[in-house]
Structure 1
Amino acid sequence: MKPQIFMAAMLTLAPMSAAFAAETSGTITAIRKNADTITLSDGKTYNLPEGIEDTRLRVGEKVQLTYTMKGGNAVVSHLAPQK
């Protein structure tokens, strides 16, 4: 593939990968440490990957998170306390 075509394809596809990320916020209502998941006040459960430690999270804490859907699961890529 010619470098110009490759670069054009990459520039076209790059925004599409970012489009699948979603953001939400809410209050943590449940933490399942053995499953590495949290449930927010919206009733949805989110999977925590390696690097996001659930030991610092507390039920009742307000958080904002970014996630992507992978295999039918919402996988968190960024989590921060919300003020």
Structure 2
Amino acid sequence: MTVRRILPGLLVSTLFAASALAAPLSTTGVVKSIDQAKDDIVLQSGETFTLPTKFNFKKLKVGETVKITYVKQGNKMVASKVEAMK
């Protein structure tokens, strides 16, 4: 096989693998604590999520059920969206 035949397949495989790793995940849970100094929230399940620096913490309350959309970055779960569940 030549490099011209292998390279396109390798590039496509790499792109699919990279997009699968960066796919957003979501979870729901009850807010246990909010730490504005660290830009994070902890759910009652023990999961900790880092929030964007300009996140409006006034929208969150301890004891509230939320849906969090996030991505994993190393050992951290970085939230892109936090919604109160009704």
Check whether TM > 0.5.
yes
Q: How many residues align?
A: 75
Quick check: which has more Rg, 1 or 2?
Answer: 2
Give runs of ≥4 in structure 1 deviating > 6 Å: none
TM-score by length of 1: 0.73
Letter in 2 for 1:23: S
| Alignment equivalent of 1:81, drawn from 69, 78, 84 | 84
Root mean square deviation, CA, Å: 2.3
Q: Which runs of 5+ in 2 are unaligned?
A: 1-7
Matched residue, 1:44 = 47
CA–CA separation in structure 1 for the residues paired with 2:52 and 2:29: 19
Structure 1: which amino acid aligns with 2:49? Y
Distance 2:51 2:65 in 1: 16
Show structure 1 runs of 5+ residues with no match: none
The separation in 1 between residues aligned to 2:22 and 2:78, in whole angstroms, is 15
